[in-house]
Amino acid sequence: MTCRSARRLMADLFDSGDPCPPPELRAHLDGCRNCAAELEETRNAVAGIQPRGRVSASADFKERTMTKLAAELNAAQTPRPRIRFTPLLRLALTAAAILAVVAALPYLGALGTNRGEVALLAQSIDALNGLRSVHIVARMRTPRGDNFESIGAGYDFQPVEMWREFGSTPRWRVENPGRVVVMDGAQSILFMKPDFAVHGGRNPGFVEWLRPLLDPERVLAAELRAAQKGESRAAIRQEGQRVTLTATRKAEGEFVNDWGRNSSVSQSDHTRVYHFDAATSRLTGLQVILHDGGKDVVVFEATDIRYNEAVAPELFTVALPDGVIWGVPPEQMPTNRPLPATARDAAEAFLGGMSQRDWERVLTVYAATAVPEGLKRDGGGLHVISIGEPFQSGLYAGWYVPYEVMLADGTGKKWNLAVRNDNAAHRWVQDGGF
């Protein structure tokens, strides 16, 4: 687990009110003093501002609240000494502020851009309270069957469908043509067709960007935080019964030779377009528009959002084939061969093992019970032409290792292998790029 993923799970603790970290987060905190200290600091800060009781809004609450929000937006631009506002602390404090005001904030269509955005988002969040389920039908420009994060202006649209059932034990499912993730309320399973599966907890990192869309309230709260902190440029317009909010954001991360830029929503300059029903304030549509080389390309589009449908329990299960290969945590990987000490060593172990069809060597860096037949077929017997020097780029916590190979069928391939060792065992594993 990366520190970035850990901070998202820590944020979930404050959103859900559950004080107990999930097992995968506890494992990361045990080995990362920085994240553990940040969580403790945030808990202390939130405890200091937690309201002691529920209050009723007075008649002039709307005007006073919006005046206060405008003042906070201005004050947020001035650094304050003596308090270290880490990203998680800013998120938790903002979430606490939202919980204190959102239930009484009405829509103020006549406000200016920033204040209007805050008011619209706040009312929409309030309108989503009490949901029983949400079902999102969408499409996304991504390689067919690839993970749920990859985007690209040149890819064709692939269908994506998502379900979430709320309640005391939330359950959800995300599916595209090549893979499916289900969370049954206790644990999750990622199934990568045709024969690979991975166990996860209640908050796995399998669907880091798409999964939050299953909770529209959280999505809108995140946009509200961005508006309050001045991290997005936004505008609101109303046409008939539809209210549209556009929020434009810059790419996050430091890029080397632009590697990783525009490969995910967070790592791209993009605009998010939200559509709301003017009567109910509910979210009815969402688009993500990628700004790439002077071109604007829609890379994600929710074509239908359905609320409070009856959801069949079997939707939160997945049928696995006989002989499925399971992904394993790095600490459970075999150690019957010398382990790589560097990112380049990890790339050499993976590509060298593929070249010699030495599957035991591949499994020193491939976190699974066996090498899938598809990977053996595609990469077995390749010829390694070169392996370059590792580098880091974008938001990825691991390393990219340039390589060039000739596949057994004569096809040349030149790409970057992703490897990382930010796990509890600090063991190098192959993480993509082949």
Question: For residue range 387-421, what is the model confidence (pLDDT) as tens digits?
Answer: 999 999 999 999 999 999 999 999 999 999 999 99
> Per the structure, how many domains does the chain have?
3
- Which residue has 């239908």 as its token pair? 304
SS3 assignment, position 144: coil
User: Would you say residue 94 lies in a domain?
Assistant: yes
User: Would you say residue 418 lies in a domain?
Assistant: yes
Residues 194 and 263 in one domain: yes
Q: Is the model's pLDDT at 85 over the cut of 80?
A: no
Mean pLDDT of the chain: 80
Residues 144 and 230 in one domain: yes
Please check whether residue 273 is in contact with residue 219, taking contact to mean a CB–CB distance below 8 angstroms. Answer: no
User: Would you say residue 164 lies in a domain?
Assistant: yes
pLDDT at 141: 95
| Final residue belonging to a domain, choices 104, 120, 141 | 104
pLDDT at 333: 93
Residues 207 and 302 in one domain: yes
User: Would you say residue 306 lies in a domain?
Assistant: yes
Residues 261 and 152 in one domain: yes
pLDDT digit string (tens) for 176-200? 999 999 999 999 999 999 999 999 9
Please check whether residue 225 is in contact with residue 94, taking contact to mean a CB–CB distance below 8 angstroms. Answer: yes
Residues 337 and 317 in one domain: no
Residues 319 and 333 in one domain: no
Find the range with the poorest average confidence among 64-73, 254-263, 292-301, 321-330.
Answer: 64-73
User: Would you say residue 109 lies in a domain?
Assistant: no
Length of the chain: 434
Q: Rounded mean pLDDT of 98-103?
A: 33
Helices (H), 102-189: 113-127
Residues 156 and 305 in one domain: yes
DSSP state letter for 21: P
Maximum separation of any 2 CA atoms in the chain, in Å: 76
Residues 177 and 306 in one domain: yes
Q: Is the dihedral angle over the CA atoms 262, 266, 269, 273 positive or is it negative?
A: positive
Residues 98 and 14 in one domain: yes
Residues 4 and 87 in one domain: yes
Q: What is the per-residue DSSP string for 31-88? A: H-HHHHHHHHHHHHHHHHH--SS--PPPTTHHHHHHHHHHHHHHHTTS--TT----HH
Q: How many Cα neighbours within 13 Å face the side chain of 314?
A: 1
pLDDT at 127: 63
Q: Among 188, 400, 404, 425, which Cα is nearest to 330's? A: 425
What does the alpha-carbon distance between residue 292 and residue 262 come to, in Å, rounded to a whole number?
Answer: 7
Q: Is the model's pLDDT at 131 over the cut of 50?
A: yes
User: Would you say residue 122 lies in a domain?
Assistant: no
Please check whether residue 296 is in contact with residue 290, taking contact to mean a CB–CB distance below 8 angstroms. Answer: yes
Please check whether residue 14 is in contact with residue 218, taking contact to mean a CB–CB distance below 8 angstroms. Answer: no
Band the pLDDT of 103: cuts 50, 70, 90: very low
| Final residue belonging to a domain, choices 326, 347, 379 | 326
CA angle 355, 356, 362 (to 5 degrees): 80
Name all contacts of 422-425 with Cβ < 8 Å and 24+ positions apart.
422/1, 422/2, 422/3, 422/397, 422/398, 423/1, 423/329, 423/330, 423/331, 424/1, 424/27, 424/28, 424/30, 424/31, 424/329, 424/330, 424/331, 425/329, 425/330, 425/331
Report the CATH number that the domain containing residue 227 is assigned in CATH.
2.50.20
Q: What distance lies between CA 70 and its chain's CA centroid?
A: 29
- Angstrom distances, CA of residue 325 to CA of 147, 177, 370, 372, 374: 18, 19, 6, 7, 12
pLDDT at 91: 43
Q: Is the dihedral angle over the CA atoms 335, 339, 343, 348 positive or is it negative?
A: negative
Find the range with the poorest average confidence among 98-112, 278-292, 332-346.
Answer: 98-112
Please check whether residue 419 is in contact with residue 365, taking contact to mean a CB–CB distance below 8 angstroms. Answer: yes
Please check whether residue 287 is in contact with residue 267, taking contact to mean a CB–CB distance below 8 angstroms. Answer: no
SS3 assignment, position 189: strand
Residues 41 and 186 in one domain: no
Q: Is the model's pLDDT at 67 over the cut of 90?
A: no
What does the alpha-carbon distance between residue 237 and residue 242 come to, in Å, rounded to a whole number?
Answer: 9
Band the pLDDT of 11: cuts 50, 70, 90: low
pLDDT at 13: 67
User: Would you say residue 123 lies in a domain?
Assistant: no
- pTM of structure: 0.71
Q: What is the span of the domain harbouring residue 169?
A: 132-326
Q: Among 176, 199, 195, 196, which Cα is nearest to 186's? A: 199
Q: Is the model's pLDDT at 104 over the cut of 90?
A: no
Residues 166 and 290 in one domain: yes
User: Would you say residue 113 lies in a domain?
Assistant: no
Q: Is the model's pLDDT at 18 over the cut of 70?
A: no
pLDDT digit string (tens) for 344-390? 999 999 999 999 999 999 999 999 999 999 999 999 999 999 999 99
